[in-house]
Homo-oligomer: A and B are copies of this chain.
């Protein structure tokens, strides 16, 4: 399940809903990762653009990988502005056993950072500035720039 919200996430509510949705599913491990906006470099917050069609297919491919291990994943992300100490991201794994959950959340979050079509901007001095230095080119990038 992939849920996108305008603005900050209501973390306690989402963690509770996901826990209750799977209460009878017989998973032994529930491992949510919550990402929160840190105060650094004088920013007032972050802002996000999302390209949903590719985010959905990326997520669906990971859901299939999870399924192959008897696990499921859920993810929530913010669109638009998220202020300091608010949260913009939750990814969770449910699995029968702990090792799958511990390994899966790590691989999922890292690939999310490297591949999910989401763009981050710093909110600073009333401006929205692309976080270029913290961004990662998606694998296979640059093909249109190669000299013919």
Contacts and interface: CB of A to CB of B under 8 A. Distances in A.
Copies in the complex: 2
B26 A30 contact: no
A130 interface: no
Interface string A13-34: 0011001100110111111111
Given A12-B20, A19-B12, A36-B27, A98 B102 contact: no
A30 B11 CA distance: 11
Given A19-B12, A85-B23, A31 B28 contact: no
B85 A24 contact: yes
Interface range for A: 20 to 34
Contact of A34 (B24, B29, B35, B37): B29
Chain A contact residues: helix, strand, loop or mixed:
mixed
A69 interface: no
A73 interface: no
Contact of A33 (B31, B35, B38, B106): B31
12 contacts: A12-B19, A15-B15, A19-B34, A26-B38, A27-B36, A27-B38, A28-B37, A28-B38, A30-B34, A33-B101, A98-B109, A102-B109
